[in-house]
Amino acid sequence: MASPPRAMVTGAASGIGEAAARRLLEEGCSVIAVDINESGLDQIVAAGAEPFVADLADLDDRARVAAAGQGIDYLVNAAGIIRLKPLPDFTVEDWREIFTVNAEAIFFLCQGIGPTMPPGSAIVNLSSSSAKLSNTVEAAVYGASKTTILSITRSFAYGLAKIPVRVNAVCPAIIDTPMQDKVLEMVAPLRGMTVEELTEARNASVPLGRTAAPEELAGLIWFLLGEKPGYMTGQAVNYGGGYVTW
Ligand SMILES: NC(=O)c1ccc[n+]([C@@H]2O[C@H](COP(=O)([O-])OP(=O)(O)OC[C@H]3O[C@@H](n4cnc5c(N)ncnc54)[C@H](O)[C@@H]3O)[C@@H](O)[C@H]2O)c1
């Protein structure tokens, strides 16, 4: 019997990464579930994933993750952090902290794992609608890091095309996860609004008028990893109810 496809998902302890890992397990893959949050991995491990506790900001940990990912079929880079402040308050430390996890780690995991992946394999990087709009100014550095992910995605799409390994990014708008809860809680007071008022305004800004569950986005991630979009690489695919249309 052929062995199951091997996948690695970073940020698998929560939200989108956890939902993507679950979908990959449901599709019959073996999944290495990477996260800094050890106890947060319990649920996905109970579902059948292999836990891999690592801080992707730490170079030794990142090297261990890259070593564990040699030759995998699917890589989903979903680990990410956000810091929310008034625009004038961002510091160089904020910039470095956010870029280390959101951009540097993705670049070097693509570099360390991508060339070892077999022909027909694929990578999906989690960017964001903020990569294109940057309208939540309280997340300006996060938005900059997410735009950088689009450049990283394009570089590795070109660089790995010979194998071929396809590399695409997804740009979700508002997905119901702990990170999204944090955005509402932190941004509402900065704008002099209640969480309820900001939630209403946020939902009204989405043409389809709703947020999405991480499981819905996991469906798109699985589609992009699979064989059907075999002619598609280097793309930044929106998933946001029409919030961004370009
Ligand atoms: N939720 C949304 O609306 C939304 C929208 C656009 C993009 N995204 C992106 O999708 C990805 C997943 O977001 P989410 O909403 O599921 O967030 P989340 O906070 O629920 O999950 C992020 C996971 O990344 C892990 N992580 C953070 N720093 C890490 C590190 N240094 N090493 C290892 N793991 C680390 C966390 O422990 C957590 O389990 C992120 O890259 C985020 O920027 C989310």
Cα separation of 67 and 55, whole Å? 14
Query: Are residues 75 and 125 in contact, defined by beta-carbon separation less than 8 angstroms?
Result: no
Q: What confidence tens digit (pLDDT) does each residue in 114-129 have?
A: 999 999 999 999 999 9
User: Could you give the angle at the alpha carbon of 233 between the alpha carbons of 231 and 235, nearest 5°?
Assistant: 125
59: its two tokens: 């170079």
CA 210/CA 127 separation, integer angstroms: 20
Q: Is the CB of 212 under 6 A from ligand 1?
A: no
Mean pLDDT of 4-27: 98
* Element of type H or E holding 200: helix 195-204
Tell me, using a 6 A CB cutoff, whether residue 81 lines ligand 1. Answer: yes
Q: What is the pLDDT of residues 122-178, one digit of tens each?
A: 999 999 999 999 999 999 999 999 999 999 999 999 999 999 999 999 999 999 999
pLDDT band of residue 2 (cuts 50, 70, 90) is confident
Residue 61 Cα: closest atom of ligand 1 = 32
Domain 6-174+213-239 class, CATH top level: alpha beta
Cβ of 11 below 6 Å from ligand 1: yes
Q: Which atom of ligand 1 is nearest to the CA of 77?
A: 41
Q: What distance in angstroms lies between residue 105's CA and the mean position of ligand 1's atoms? A: 13
**Residue 1 predicted with pLDDT over 80:** no
Question: Which residues on neighbouring strands pair with residue 175, listed in sequence order?
Answer: 212
For residues 75-93, average pLDDT: 98
Cβ 173 vs Cβ 206: under 8 Å: yes
86 CA to centre of ligand 1 in angstroms:
21
With H, G, I as helix, E, B as strand and everything else as coil, classify residue 187. helix
Cβ 126 under 6 angstroms from ligand 1 = yes
The answer to whether 142 and 130 are in contact (CB under 8 A) is yes
pLDDT digits (tens, 9 = 90+) for 190-236: 999 999 999 999 999 999 999 999 999 999 999 999 999 999 999 99
Whether residue 36 has its Cβ less than 6 Å from ligand 1: yes
- 243: CA distance to ligand 1 center in Å? 20
d(CA 55, CA 76): 16
Pocket of ligand 1 contains residue 211 by CB under 6 Å? no
Determine the pLDDT at residue 234: 98
Rounded to the nearest angstrom, the distance between the alpha carbon of 170 and the centre of ligand 1 is 13
* Domain ranges (residues) in the chain: 6-174+213-239
Would you say the pTM of this structure is higher than 0.85? yes
Active-site residues, by number, are: 142
Three-state SS letters, 30-74: EEEEEECCCHHHHHHHHCCCEEEECCCCCHHHHHHHHHHCCCCCE
| 22, two tokens | 């679950």
